[in-house]
Homo-oligomer: A and B are copies of this chain.
């Protein structure tokens, strides 16, 4: 239930977005209760931008919207997992399919 979600001291919950077809993790962004309600009522992912302090719908400018298929919450009720159908080229504003397109070069860091 949506009322069971625990928001942090800023009223936010991290939302992991996963492609429901490929299972690729596409991005992570933050929702407050209104963004979650907008996501559920419209069936398209909405978030709260911490830097711009405003709501945004994924794809509102690019057209690469995300159609919500399932939403899960974790054992602590403080993280969401949103499974979506990604429309368009991808989720990342860089043009990549996923925002996680760079690997940490671990050998360099040892």
Contacts and interface: CB of A to CB of B under 8 A. Distances in A.
A25 B81 contact: yes
Nearest to A106: B40
B25 A105 contact: no
A10 to B, nearest CB: 10
Q: How many identical subunits does the complex contain? A: 2
B75 A99 contact: yes
Interface of A: 1-3, 14, 16, 18, 22-25, 27-28, 37, 40-41, 70-76, 79-81, 92-94, 96, 99-106, 108-110
10 contacts: A1-B105, A2-B109, A16-B16, A16-B25, A25-B81, A37-B109, A40-B104, A72-B104, A73-B100, A76-B99
